[in-house]
Amino acid sequence: MEEENMLDNKVVKLSCFIMVLSALFTLTTPVFSEESMYIPIPSYRVGPYAAGGTGYYGGILDYYSLLNERDGGVGGVKLTWSECETEYSVERGVECYKRMKDREGGALFFDPLSVGIAIALNEVVRNDQISQITVNHGMSETIDGEVFPFAFPLGMGVPDEYNATVRFMAYLESGEDPNTVDLAKALNGKKIVTLHHGSPYGKEALGYMTAMGEEYGFEHTTIEVPHPGNEQQAQWLKIRQIKPDFVFLRGWGVMNPVAMQTASRMGYPVNRLIGNIWSNSDEDVIPAGAAAHGYQAITTHPAGVFTRVQDEIIHELYSKGKGDLDDKSRLGSVYHNLGITAGIMHVEAIRNAQKRWGEGKKLTAQQVRWGFENIRFDEKRIAEVGAEGLLAPMLVTCKDHVGGHNSKFQKWDADKRQWEIVTPWIRSQAPTDKLFASAENYRTDNQIEKRDCDDPQQRDNWKLSKDEPEVPAGVSTWGG
């Protein structure tokens, strides 16, 4: 009898344990519909970079949820997802990819928001034939779709960022239009320091800025800040010795407000501290307080709530308690707005693929890859998705996997706690010949098969069968 009671207790405890595990699983995994398309979310909601992760993936998930709530998904097929916490760690990011790539019939694509994770997975996704999306970042050579057919650094490449930033600095020196300013005339003899995060992201393409200095006559110095960046005294002492005309901040997370505060303490004018695309958010400037007043940074996605798509997200989700952000004051923040634009890009690729393979069907990763390669956002299409002023024009092609190359600059008003746009769209004039040459060297070194974008079969049916549906008129971006 005692043995039976002990057995019953064990059964009860085991049942309770299973119920707890089931509840935990339900909390982190959405219910999948009978017909759905799965997208993995390799988020980071904890750690020193959580502000970026929660904002970016919050914007993506809000856009997905809007389409599910309002439209029943995309082309009649619901979007589903699950999250895996990476903590911005390369090892965790790779593990998350391996765990999620085959779920629910296979992931459509992977968007890790990390240069380190992206570089670690470049050849893995090629082998798995799953697109990797790196909005406004990534390995610069992945612009070349002939060598990197499964990598999409959408929006703005790192050389674009450097080129636009130097143009903005020249504009501040001369007052001339940043799109047409004479860089050599405005910057010859000037000193520029790049203060960068000590990670693959922070170090990406630093040589490009040095090359610009050699071409236009300014002196360029790089100074690294070790992860996570909350101690910068030594770096700013060196900056004070150099006495640069500008400091270009390629920071991330806690490094950014610390840079502004340290610059202020050292007496360096914060309006000469120019932030890059990952140093441009509310979460970067607000913690810095008054020290951030006048700080300026590049952006592809202005802050604020001013578009129809944002209004719809607020109405359909947040007014009903369904939004992803816990703090509603972050609606309209730079990171959340970037997430919305990334979600729009993701879905546009799905829509492109549906135009070719049919609506109401569950697509494959290879089909959606083709969709990414034919993204076209002109003014008309941007208006149709309700993102006027938020999303920059884009034209992704087989050869150009960046597609955007456009940016603006914004200035922070600490008293009003808001950003002000201070330039028109600046079109990058960064030369791409060295990037394509570097991509070719990578291909040769790694013995990678190269496709020919001028061959319609290789361009439109890469890793697909030869009897795929014809490309619908007006969908392909090849030839502009």
Predicted confidence (pLDDT) per residue in 440-458, tens digit: 999 999 999 999 999 999 9
Minimum mean pLDDT among 20-34, 153-167, 303-317, 333-347: which range? 20-34
Confidence category of residue 479, pLDDT binned at 50, 70, 90: confident
Average pLDDT rounded to a whole number, residues 106-116? 97
- The pLDDT, as a whole number, for residue 96 is 98
Side-chain half-sphere CA neighbours of 80 within 13 A: 20
**pLDDT for res 466:** 83
Q: Is the pLDDT of residue 19 over 60?
A: no
- The mean pLDDT of 381-404, rounded to a whole number, is 97
Check: CB of residue 157 under 8 Å from CB of residue 402.
yes
pLDDT in tens, 234-285: 999 999 999 999 999 999 999 999 999 999 999 999 999 999 999 999 999 9
pTM exceeds cut of 0.85: yes
Place of tokens 């990598």: 151
Identify the three-state secondary structure at position 298.
Answer: strand
Chain position carrying tokens 């509840």? 23
Cα distances from 176 to residues 191, 335, 422, 423, in angstroms, run: 19, 30, 13, 11
Provide the token pair at 113.
């928001």
Q: pLDDT at position 35, please? A: 83
Which pair of structure tokens corresponds to residue 12? Answer: 């009860």
Burial of 323 (0-12, 13-18, 19+ CB in 10 A): buried
pLDDT of residue 56: 98
The pLDDT assigned to 34 comes to 64
- Exposure string of 352-391, with b = 16+ CB inside 10 Å and e = fewer, is bbbbbbeeeeebbbbbbbbbbbbbbbeeebbeebbbeebb
Share of the chain above pLDDT 90, in %: 90
CA distances from 160 to 67, 137, 395, 407, 461 (A): 32, 10, 15, 9, 29
- Tokens 């020196």 belong to 173
Q: What is the mean pLDDT of the chain?
A: 92
Mean pLDDT of 161-165: 97
